[in-house]
Structure 1
Amino acid sequence: MTRTRPRSPFRTTALGGTAVLAAAALTACSGGAGPAKADGKDTAPDTRITVNLSGKQARAGEPVKVTLTEGELRQVTVTDSKGGTLAGKVSADGRTWTSTRKAAPGTAYTVVARSATGGTAEAGFATAAAGKVNKLTLAPGKNTTVGIAHPLSIVFDHPVKNKAEVEKHLKVTTSNGTVGSWGWMEDWSGKDRVDWRPEQYWKPGTKVTLDAQLNGVDSGGDGGWFVRDYTTKVTIGRNQVVKVDLDSHRLTLLRDGREVRDVPMSGGTPGGDKASWRGRTVLMSKEGTINMRSETVGLGDAYDKMVDYSMRLTWSGMYAHAAPWNARYMGNANRSSGCIGMDTPDARWVYEQVQVGDPFEVEGGDAKGTQALNNGYGDWNLSWADWQAKSALR
């Protein structure tokens, strides 16, 4: 067994803004990576590296580059202060290692490099804190089961100017190789939003993972930095489609392509702001009993009611719900203030059957137009080609 000489202190000097470090090579008790003399002193040369980031206020948003002055790199480990690591690759000539992720703001990093001859060198640096932090809201939520039409949707707290750079860091994987595309828009709230949807509705049972690897990405402009990653997992539930025909005044629930039940309904009064939207919309939420007031949707003081079995379809206030006060019009006329109204027993049944993410396909002449892209989830009202064109990477 050879005796290991204790590591000598590192020597650090400034060289063009990079850190240059040297450390004596280490020799293991057995199977050592470097040759040793009979007196126990190792003869492996010092390992010297340069790191492109140094000091306590290094620039964030840059990949970490480690260069060996002589010889070949065997391994480089870059660890942050929270125990995370930056993966990377060694160049073909073995001289340089570059991280695949970028250094995040306000983070301390430790670099450990090992050469092919067994030498080891360490470096440390910290990045400047972000002047502004961007955050986001994901939908659907974590570990949820949703219907076949629910897109993956991200709304950002601050504007995103570097849309292509952000989109490159949004990774979607599925259990069955589903192909889809991101599409950017302005959310109903006025914030930047990006959704991911397949060409057709999801297949039931699909397992979906969104890994937003945004830590260290700059939003651009005045949007600020992302300082963490986000992950959500979603399962696609049963195959259900709700068809709403404004002309025949009927609502039909289909499951696996087969009709389960058909109920009479009354849509929005045609010819003005009270008409319903047509198009392929998505059930956003099941809200139970809520207070609906006409002032909130720009219809003056027309109504102020507690409404049961409320199912939100748009941000602008279009719901499917119980409307017993409108019973005389169910199945024969559209006389609501824009919503899809049903008798209470029918509304209760529909409410119990549908799942968030189910498509509501509304058609008929008694409509005021097609639901806007950002008014809820209007993604499916675009053709596949038009949807793909909304990606920042096209």
Structure 2
Amino acid sequence: MRSACRPLFLLAAVVALAVTGAGTAFGSIAAAPATPAIVAISPSDGTTVGIYPPVTVRYAAPVTDRAAAERALTVLAPEAVPGHVTWRGATEMTWLPESYLPARTRVQVFAAGWRTEFETNAGFSAEGDISAHTFTVSIGGVPVRTMPASYGKPGWETPAGTFPILEKFRRVTFDSRTIGIPLSSPEGYLIQGEYAERLTWGGVFVHSAPWSVESQGSANVSHGCVNLAPDDAAWFYENAGIGDPVQLHW
């Protein structure tokens, strides 16, 4: 069976503050006259996340003045933290730090009328060596577990870079049609996956792949995802969290 790397569905990793109380509104909730109201921010107030956390702000309506929205966002840990902003559509802005934040640090987010505060964990991170077919987890810079892995095969190479864990799924459906491959194609697949962590909105995951165990540690055979054996994938799922960095390199 082929490896699978793209989900059937996409879920936004945000929490509605007004519903859950996952933050505090102060003053006006409108960022600026031309900027819609903020309806959600993640990470939510009081949570603990990884040292490479994406901060996502969702708006009630499309944002036409993105520069104003970006200027209204401040992240302190405990001093101002440099980062860069990307947009998913017209209503969701995500900030990512330029480098890892310190472990066990309180982080405050101010976004034009909203404030939320979260804390980083002990520094859980993973390094995927695509050439060596290994996946190594460290805590506080100290390696704690190295696992055999399989990455993207030629034509479906796993991207190099550092990615935060965006979402976690105990079970997920991988469907090749979401990336334009019909099920009737030799590359087509429709697979029920387990123990999956999303690294990109384009569909790169770390996940359990019992179908590629024989290749893990020796060959790259996936469609771009990080394939782990079921026991290793379950361990990673239980220990990894949102905002934990995964560095992938050749």
TM-score by length of 2: 0.78
Would you say 1:295 and 2:177 are equivalent positions? yes
Q: Equivalent residue for 1:283?
A: 165
1:185 corresponds to: 86
Amino acid at match of 1:186: W
Partner secondary structure for residue 309 of structure 1 = strand
- Provide the C-alpha distance between the structure 2 equivalents of 1:199 and 1:269, rounded to a whole number of angstroms: 29
Give the Å deviation of 1:194. 4.0
Q: Deviation per CA, 1:359-392: give whole Å up to 9, x if none.
A: 110011xxxxxxxxxxxxxxxxxxxxxxxxxxxx
Shift of 1:141: 2.4
Say how many residue pairs are matched. Answer: 222
* Unmatched tracts of structure 1, length 5 or more: 1-83, 87-100, 106-129, 214-228, 365-394
Pairing partner for 2:124 from 229, 240, 245: 240
Task: Tell me, in whole angstroms, the C-alpha distance in 2 between the residues paired with 1:85 and 1:300.
Answer: 50
8 Å CA contact retained: 1:208, 1:233: yes
What corresponds to 2:51 in structure 1? Answer: 148
Task: Mark the CA change 1:134 to 1:350 in structure 2 (over 3 Å): closer, same or farther.
Answer: same
> Larger relative CO (CA 8 A, sep 6+): 1 or 2?
2
Question: Structure 2 stretches of 5 or more lacking a match?
Answer: 1-24
Q: Distance in 2 between matches of 1:249 and 1:282?
A: 20
The alignment-based identity, stated in percent, is 29
SS in 1 for 2:132: coil
Q: How does 1:253-332 map to 2 (within 5 A)?
A: 253-270=137-154, 272=155, 274-301=156-183, 302-332=188-218
- Displacement of 1:353 in angstroms is 1.8
Which string of whole-angstrom CA distances, capped at 9 and with x for unpartnered residues, describes residues 103-160 of structure 1? 999xxxxxxxxxxxxxxxxxxxxxxxx9995444322223221100113232435443
The two structures have a TM-score, normalised by structure 1, of 0.51
2:160 alignment partner, SS class: strand
Q: Report the Cα distance in structure 2 between the residues aligned to 1:146 and 1:348, rounded to whole angstroms.
A: 19
How much has 1:269 moved relative to structure 2?
A: 1.2
SS in 2 for 1:355: coil
Structure 1 Cα separation of the partners of residues 128 and 30 of structure 2: 51
Q: Per-residue deviation at 1:239? A: 0.7
Quote the RMSD (CA, aligned, Å): 2.9
Q: Alpha-carbon deviations, 1:231-283, whole Å to 9, x = none?
A: 2211111112200011111000011111101010111112x2x3212111111
Q: Which has the larger radius of gyration?
A: 1
